[in-house]
Structure 1
């Protein structure tokens, strides 16, 4: 279950929004709703863990994804069948809501099919979304507390050793065929696995359902399954990683070094951004965006430090002890305070506003050193609220302003507001609540970091300059690594030269993340640039009739749509608004 942090893109409708009875897809007769229904049904059939995670109605809480070669081929055949049916649809025959469904399905499936050249199942074990990181989310949502829940949990847990074995087989094949991961990433995975097999059972991610159930017999059965079957399988995997994989791990970070690596990067870049721009173009955009932000930093630096010299500003900021936290408790309190302010103020900038709330939680122990702050959407049945997971590692090195901007990015007016609105829409097909792309979602969240300054959310000028110092280096470093073949040291050095708030360890984690998620880190800056361009266009053409609430609602009302489709929607809004004003 890969890229859970950024790429969860499916779920099934519940309660009053039930999927229609499954119907056979016929190329000549299938409607867009038929295809969307089948898309949801197929993905939950092949990924039952997501049904548990979203706590959907009638979820399969026993099954696991089939990550064997045969199982993965079944998924591809199902996807091909649906995409063939989709291509038979004439988008000009669809109404607006149906067209949104069509555009989302097309972008999702085309991106998935194009990325098959990457053979990502052969290099799936990494420190950010390995099987054990996913199971902490399943452990939190697996139904327990009664005899049925306990029985289903034990049946699912019996399947885990085989899943782990298949994952090792896939990565062993990848190693043999030239798909080895970078050595620093492999070392991080080994460190995590060693922690997993050496920690107490009670702190093991696979024991989490037992922590939520007081039945001693059930607890002992889970414990026995972990000790007797799961941990031994992880130890086999761990020995393989240490003895066979690590010696052959690649020294280069660039994905261009794997078979068809350049084509793979182009596919992953396009799928992430929903655009067809080249790595060279995105690299140039990044340099331009960084220059623009550095101009703002100079202006704030003149105010704070009586200097517009970038290096002096960076040094002065870095040496100011008031910019850093003392404890995790202080860090979490500041993050919560930022969320509270943003939740209230966002109502002044949006007509559309989510019903669902978001809670703050610290990152788990196993991910503390390597994980990132992130957002998890609420369950469909409302029993699990949306959650902002806050990174807490080394608080004395964490910049207060960066923590504040990340809170806005992940909650209000960023991810939570955008995703909750998307999931609460009722007019479009329910698939639109779950399909999406990083270009839109991460671009929106990054746009809202700057919007939060406009909204007056930052606590001080120190916090504001910290946000602007978070330069969009992903647009440069990502293609720098995967297109220009930068070494790890070159990527780290560049990152440190631009990202003032980062320690060397932060920069290493940043670069290693880019190495295993090619294309994804570009989406923040690319998407932000896109929203900025659309807003400037609306402001210019509408003049005094520009309404920030209307603009934001236009951007969000259709869910996480492809960026080219969003352009059409905003242009139509501008045209309609201008005509209505003219008629008056």
Structure 2
């Protein structure tokens, strides 16, 4: 089945033909448009430099989230898209095809999302401004006098940034927009954790901590004490006293104005496809049934039972599956990471990235708010990327779960994909900026499968635990946002997978509340990569080499799923041509 039949971006019958003077002119115009887009993004938000590696001389401010600035930014993207659609792209060759696909997908997705008016209800515990600012603080340069000056300017503007956030949220309340109360409570808890009495313990103190300049350190301490902490408290008090009583009780995006159109836009943004919620829901249910059937076969052979709850209970009650402490979980994951690197290098890829990856604990303020483990990229390949692991669930986490988590977030998952793409993909400025969950999370889900195939997992129960959760996000996310599931229905469905506790399920519901559609991206992408691999194996037969297939998937970098299919179709044809 062609899982990308409805994708727009690579669907313009872009053919791969020899370049000509005409196509070279088109390429020049395309690259000019792409560079203009990148310049606009960095102008709007210079902090993008820290995740993309794109250079900027401006380290003095955050993004401007005022209505006027957002309107100007929207108009720029409308003009960019209009210009892009006038290009004669019929003869674009790779890598220009990837540039065109990525730029069009990003512009169309951004503009489609504007129906959501997210700035009017952006209270977000999972990846809100507070988490982004903590990461910015870690990467804010402070080596020179000019950089220290700009650091003080940026962080001195944080109170004004929060004033704009409050104004946007107040405006949202007047127009029927609000965040869920459950999420607001989580963010209030984060604000309490962030406004620490000792400035040197603040997550925002990192620029001063990395500087040997005593005057700068003192100025930053005073800035946190006298400006940042009061601003955090003011934002927290606004949420507690004014916003929370008016926030919505439910979490479904359908509760907001234009909710149906907004959810469709989020689905497009997350999956790069134009699937309906019903199509995603149905595909998710089908895939879940297939996974459960496989678990039943494994359970009958291993545990003499085909009942999923019984199988999971036997696994979770096994003493060998559990950790003794946070350090035990951390050490186990670090050992698994090394084994995953060794196996991946031998069996799954033609070359490993030059950049390394390490595991570090997630910050306390994120753990306390229910934020899960995540990968944190590092654009400077001389520094290691980081798998930030949540350790406070060590007493309920199984060793199988820890293995799958490490494979997903690090090797051969997110780290391998992102680090290797930086070395293989076309070296355009746009490629450093573009990201989409369908590709990145899809690869990581596919990596979980390879972890089993390549015997990276060392626990005997990973084959069951790996199949518990996949594709359920495709069911519960539209169920909650479109099909009017209650919060309890969503929690019960998540718990019924056997993978999560009720507390973890509640964390997931609030994650879906602030990131609608995102949970559908994992298996939208993972199923597509698996389908392309099966098609490649069938077409190439004995010529098929998994390591070279994986490299072909990764070599364009992050692209929409439609472009990925077009690229791999061309790769298959090339393999047959040169056999």
TM-score normalised to structure 2 length:
0.92
Superposed counterparts of 1:468-483, under 5 Å = 468-483=467-482
Name the CA distance, whole Å, in 2 between partners of 1:214 and 1:427. 39
Which among 58, 64, 68 is matched to residue 66 of structure 1? 64
Name the CA distance, whole Å, in 1 between partners of 2:333 and 2:224. 36
Counterparts in 2 of 1:491 and 1:45: CA distance versus 1, 3 Å: same
CA contact (8 A) 2:38 2:433 kept: no
State the aligned residue count.
553
Q: Does 1:47 align with 2:45?
A: yes
Superposed counterparts of 1:137-536, under 5 Å = 137-347=135-345, 348-369=347-368, 370-380=370-380, 382-425=381-424, 427=426, 429-498=428-497, 500-536=498-534
Name the CA distance, whole Å, in 2 between partners of 1:553 and 1:85. 33
Name the CA distance, whole Å, in 1 between partners of 2:386 and 2:355. 11
Q: CA deviation at 1:58?
A: 4.2
What CA deviation, in whole Å up to 9, does each residue of 1:136-178 have, x standing for no partner?
Answer: 1111111124433322211111111101111111112112211
What SS class does the counterpart of residue 518 from structure 2 fall into? coil
Name the CA distance, whole Å, in 2 between partners of 1:424 and 1:28. 26
CA contact (8 A) 1:131 1:164 kept: no
Name the CA distance, whole Å, in 1 between partners of 2:26 and 2:376. 39
Structure 1: runs of 5+ lacking an equivalent: 1-26
Name the CA distance, whole Å, in 2 between partners of 1:442 and 1:461. 25
Q: CA deviation at 1:543?
A: 2.2
TM-score normalised to structure 1 length:
0.91
Name the CA distance, whole Å, in 2 between partners of 1:270 and 1:85. 22
Superposed counterparts of 1:554-565, under 5 Å = 554-565=552-563
Counterparts in 2 of 1:114 and 1:202: CA distance versus 1, 3 Å: same
Name the CA distance, whole Å, in 1 between partners of 2:83 and 2:420. 29
Q: CA deviation at 1:54?
A: 4.8
Superposed counterparts of 1:2-151, under 5 Å = 31-54=29-52, 56-151=54-149
Name the CA distance, whole Å, in 2 between partners of 1:401 and 1:520. 24
In structure 2, what is the equivalent of residue 18 of structure 1? none
What SS class does the counterpart of residue 461 from structure 1 fall into? coil
CA contact (8 A) 1:290 1:473 kept: yes
What SS class does the counterpart of residue 194 from structure 2 fall into? helix
What SS class does the counterpart of residue 96 from structure 1 fall into? coil
CA contact (8 A) 1:28 1:88 kept: no
CA contact (8 A) 2:425 2:431 kept: no
Q: CA deviation at 1:482?
A: 0.8
Q: CA deviation at 1:546?
A: 1.8
Counterparts in 2 of 1:578 and 1:53: CA distance versus 1, 3 Å: closer
Name the CA distance, whole Å, in 1 between partners of 2:432 and 2:231. 37
Q: CA deviation at 1:300?
A: 2.5
Q: CA deviation at 1:309?
A: 2.1
Which among 568, 571, 574 is matched to residue 572 of structure 2? 574
What SS class does the counterpart of residue 388 from structure 2 fall into? strand
Q: CA deviation at 1:115?
A: 0.5
Name the CA distance, whole Å, in 1 between partners of 2:528 and 2:50. 35
